[in-house]
Amino acid sequence: MIDTAAREVALRFLAELDEAAPGLVAGLHVVGSAVLEDYRAGHSDLDVVVELSGPVDPAVLAGLHTGPGTAVEAVYVREGELNGRVEDVSDGPWANLGVLNTTERSFQLNPITWLQLAGPAETLRGPAPKPRADVEAAKRFCLGNITEYWAPVLDGARQLLATLAPGADADPKGVEWVALGPPRLWHTARTGEVIGKSQAGRLAAARWPDLAAELGDVLAARSGQNVKLTARHGNAAVQLGERVLHELSGAGGTVS
């Protein structure tokens, strides 16, 4: 079920879309933390998949994702394209971090998003989609992402942290990203279930209790508590990512 604060953000964004592109929004579906019991107002982005009934000027969409307070990450698809395989969806505009992209295919057009659309996603306009979700494809996607994306990220983070004393301040958003991203993939790769970052952090703390204290601080900071995150937390996040990578790589086990 969608978070109450996230629903308000989504409905406001939908109204802005209607004003900017009257009659073009055929469907709007909320995915991500807002429907995974992990939305933090003022901290989390709102993730949506928007179905458009026709072409739209990219400049119109860009204006909706620019400026202070922008918190909506959107993927725009053609009406009806969600009722099938993710591989068959045509490339379209997508917005991330306040920038509209029209030249590359959205990373969110992946089997994980399709699992959400088939499960916890909340539809605020149009019929609920009937995607052809593929759990095994989602598991393979997670394995590929942990090696192709996260392994280099962990290397870079390790090198950066090596220059800092353990008690030195660390970028809290960066620490949270590194600490909670890999365990989400770890869980989905093993179970086929998509979960939020906070749940992934709790599961990882139970699996690797020697990192539980640092993960607890990261989760507390994510929840809005005044917890200082340092290089020590960053190093624990990197260790966790490396353990996830090891466990999923075949050295520590494989997934079917």
Determine the residue type at 220: A
pLDDT band at 71 (very low <50, low <70, confident <90, very high): confident
Least confident of 95-104, 151-160, 183-192: 95-104
Domain that holds residue 67: 4-125
Whole-structure pTM value: 0.93
Claim to verify: residue 69 and residue 149 sit in the same structural domain: no
The answer to whether residue 253 scores a pLDDT higher than 50 is no
The answer to whether residue 235 scores a pLDDT higher than 70 is yes
Domain boundary among 82, 101, 125: 125
pLDDT band at 256 (very low <50, low <70, confident <90, very high): very low
Please report where in the chains the tokens 């149009």 appear, as a residue: 126
Beta strand 25-31 pairing with 46-52: antiparallel
59 or 70, which is more confident?
59
Claim to verify: residue 231 and residue 144 sit in the same structural domain: yes
CATH classification at residue 18:
3.30.460
Give the per-residue pLDDT at 254.
44
Beta strand 72-78 pairing with 46-52: parallel
Alpha helices for 21-67 (secondary structure H): 58-64
Question: In whole angstroms, what is the distance from residue 48 CA to residue 75 CA?
Answer: 7
Residue 108 lies in a domain: yes
Give the per-residue pLDDT at 68.
60
Claim to verify: residue 52 and residue 22 sit in the same structural domain: yes
pLDDT band at 105 (very low <50, low <70, confident <90, very high): very high
Question: In whole angstroms, what is the distance from residue 112 CA to residue 117 CA?
Answer: 9
Tokens of 107: 């990373």
The helix (H) or strand (E) run that includes residue 125 is strand 122-125
Give the per-residue pLDDT at 152.
97
Give the per-residue pLDDT at 69.
59
CA distances from 28 to 47, 173, 200, 222 (A): 10, 28, 27, 27
The answer to whether residue 193 scores a pLDDT higher than 90 is yes
Residue 254 lies in a domain: no
Claim to verify: residue 104 and residue 150 sit in the same structural domain: no
Residue 255 lies in a domain: no
Residue 130 lies in a domain: no
Beta strand 99-101 pairing with 122-125: unpaired
Give the per-residue pLDDT at 252.
40
pLDDT, mean of residues 168-177: 97
Phi, psi (deg, nearest 5) at residue 137: -65, -35
Claim to verify: residue 86 and residue 196 sit in the same structural domain: no
State the chain's maximal CA–CA distance in angstroms: 56
Provide the percentage of residues in the chain whose pLDDT is more than 90: 91
Claim to verify: residue 107 and residue 159 sit in the same structural domain: no
Q: What is the pLDDT of residues 133-154, one digit of tens each?
A: 999 999 999 999 999 999 999 9
**Structural domain total, the chain:** 2
Residue 256 lies in a domain: no
For the chain, state the CA radius of gyration: 19
Claim to verify: residue 193 and residue 212 sit in the same structural domain: yes
Claim to verify: residue 154 and residue 208 sit in the same structural domain: yes
